[in-house]
Copies of this chain bind each other. A is one copy, B any other.
Amino acid sequence: MSIRIGIFGYGNLGRGVECAIKQNKDLELVGVFTRRDPATVKILTDGVGVYHVDEAKDMADKIDVMILCGGSATDLPVQTPELAKYFNVVDSFDTHAKIPEHFANVDVAAKASGKVGIISVGWDPGMFSLNRLYASAVLVDGESYTFWGKGVSQGHSDAIRRIDGVVDARQYTIPVDAALEAVRSGSNPALTTREKHTRECFVVAEDGADKARIENEIKTMPNYFADYNTTVHFISMEELKRDHSGIPHGGFVIRSGKTGANLENNHIIEYSLKLDSNPEFTASVIVAYARAAYRLSLEGASGCKTVFDISPSYLSHKSGDELRREML
């Protein structure tokens, strides 16, 4: 019997989850929930209904795990605790500073309902977090470094779009090679924000806009760009669509640490991702944790969990025997 999945929110991430479900034979999509008029939403899976979000709770007995695909700013803080009253839930809440609060809210709701909620699933938070934890537990005396990119930052692209005279924009975050090499050398460098990443911006300006002003506004924007070396390229809308329509991302988690009677030996643990599609990869991680949520729930678990609390074997459709034989 398949694990019955609902998708709550149908943007890039929701579509990614839909595609990922197709790749996993033990998972079955049973419904997509949207705030839009369901009649206007066309999905990729034949024979699966699209429902208004208000209809979700009436389908509690038809869905084993609800996957929340909304945004971290305003959607998930409300939706995940609310839906945990009715469903096992998985979300990709990624506002790192607010994870403790979100965890507590989902935990209360999920414990009360006897459901499992897994929050902050994806690659950062998610697979990167796992690698930070494993590496620091193994190499106790050391330093961990996270680099992001090369990839599109949605938040930074949006910030550029809000500048007067900008029609559209795409911002890439790029790790600095020299910083990566310094970390890999085992020298445990102290790196400033500026030394770790550069930002490259592709901007479509309105006809006759003051490009020098736009470039200056970008480069001096506090929080977003002022602390970075930023490059700005003005291009046509045609070029933007042709060369920058993908949503690639990725990055590196590196830990460098020492062992030995006199800490004389150095070790480097490096984990990296190179992703053609950020939302589709995030969705693939989420779907594996949806399987885990279902299994944990079957075992009688309840409450909020993160990737730190889930045994790796729960992510795979293979049995313990198969995993030990094929992968250990």
Contact = CB atoms under 8 A, between A and B. Distances in A.
A313 B274 CA distance: 26
Q: Is the interface of A mostly helix, strand, loop or mixed?
A: helix
B272 A270 contact: yes
Contacts of A120: 328
A284 interface: yes
A122 to B, nearest CB: 10
Contacts of A137: 288, 312, 315-316
Interface string A299-328: 000000011111111011000110111011
A81 interface: no
Interface of A: 15-16, 19-20, 23-24, 44, 96, 99-100, 103, 120, 125, 127, 129-134, 136-141, 184, 259-261, 265-277, 280-281, 283-285, 288, 306-313, 315-316, 320-321, 323-325, 327-328
Given A23-B141, A138-B281, A267-B275, 5 more contacts: A127-B269, A136-B316, A138-B315, A308-B320, A309-B312
A261 B19 CA distance: 5
A106 B309 CA distance: 25
- Give the residue among A259, A280, A315 with the most B Cβ atoms within 10 A: A259
B260 A280 contact: yes
- The copy count of this chain in the complex is 2
A131 B273 CA distance: 12
- Give the residue among A44, A139, A276, A288 with the most B Cβ atoms within 10 A: A276
Nearest to A45: B261
A125 B103 CA distance: 33
A274 to B, nearest CB: 4
A316 B273 CA distance: 24
B125 A284 contact: no
Nearest to A96: B328
Contact of A280 (B99, B259, B268, B313): B259
A313 B306 CA distance: 10
A159 B17 CA distance: 51
Contact of A284 (B96, B127, B259, B324): B259
Contacts of A307: 312, 328
Contacts of A284: 138-140, 259, 267
A129 B308 contact: no
A266 B271 contact: no
A296 to B, nearest CB: 11
A141 B23 CA distance: 7
Contacts of A266: 276
A134 B133 CA distance: 14
Contacts of A129: 327-328
B271 A259 contact: no
A190 to B, nearest CB: 18
Contacts of A276: 265-267
